[in-house]
């Protein structure tokens, strides 16, 4: 079963001698450790390993680096879900900070565009989350996975941001949906 597979993977990782690995293999090793921690439900610890891997990610192909960035943010988000409000806010700010940096480096980054909006929402800043979602929609054409990014952003806006903004603002959900549809129409 899954528990046996995880135990086997952990044994294999523990038997590895990382000092003998190439730089690329060391990054893969760190990622494997992070994945093992994530699957064990140790999300914050997994994020730390993914963070270390990101700092050494120059050896990774860009596709793998983007996947690692998404794993890092996902691990922090999962950690935040069971954390007290102050820690949730710090984790959301950490995600937002890294995603801001990533977008300066690569404006078409799918995980950076998506997680910037999610982090703003998690911090309670629905206006910034909206702005980040619109920005992600417009920037989506800069990356190869524009259709997937737009589908994810559309789902975030329609299922999360619009209902939450309608609750705290004087605008109706219909008016917000209309604004969002206008953005999508004007920025095909």
Instruction: Write the pLDDT tens digit of every residue in 131-186.
Output: 999 999 999 999 888 899 999 999 999 999 999 999 998 889 999 999 999 999 99
Per-residue pLDDT, averaged over 19-47, amounts to 92
Neighbours of 188 (CB within 10 A): 7
Confidence (pLDDT) at 75:
98
**Structure tokens given for 45:** 């610890």
Q: What pLDDT does residue 110 have?
A: 96
- What per-residue confidence (pLDDT) applies to 81? 94
pLDDT reading at 34 higher than 90? yes
Residues in the chain: 188
**What percent of the chain has pLDDT above 70?**
94
Q: What is the DSSP letter of 170?
A: S
C-alpha 32/C-alpha 137 separation (Å) is: 32
**Average predicted confidence (pLDDT) for the chain:** 92
- Whole-prediction pTM: 0.89
Structure-token match 């914050």, residue found: 44
Q: What phi-psi label fits residue 124: left (phi over 0), alpha (psi between -120 and 50 degrees) or beta? A: left
Domain boundaries, the chain: 1-82, 85-188
As a whole number, mean pLDDT of residues 15-19 equals: 75
């Amino acid at each position: 079963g899954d528990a046996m597979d995880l135990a086997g993977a952990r044994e294999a990782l523990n038997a590895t001698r990382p000092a003998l690995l190439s730089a690329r293999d060391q990054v893969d090793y760190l990622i494997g450790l992070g994945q093992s921690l994530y699957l064990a439900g140790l999300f914050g610890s997994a994020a730390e390993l993914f963070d270390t891997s990101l700092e050494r990610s120059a050896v990774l192909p860009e596709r793998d680096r983007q996947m690692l960035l998404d794993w890092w943010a996902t691990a922090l988000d999962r950690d935040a879900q069971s954390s007290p409000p102050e820690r949730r806010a710090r984790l959301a700010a950490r995600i937002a900070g890294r995603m801001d940096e990533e977008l300066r480096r690569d404006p078409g980054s799918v995980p950076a565009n998506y997680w910037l909006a999610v982090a703003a929402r998690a911090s309670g800043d629905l206006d910034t989350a909206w702005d980040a979602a619109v920005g992600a929609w417009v920037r989506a054409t800069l990356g190869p996975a524009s259709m997937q990014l737009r589908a994810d952003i559309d789902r975030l806006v329609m299922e999360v941001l619009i209902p939450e903004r309608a609750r705290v603002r004087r605008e109706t959900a219909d008016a917000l949906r209309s604004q969002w549809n206008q953005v999508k129409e004007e920025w095909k």
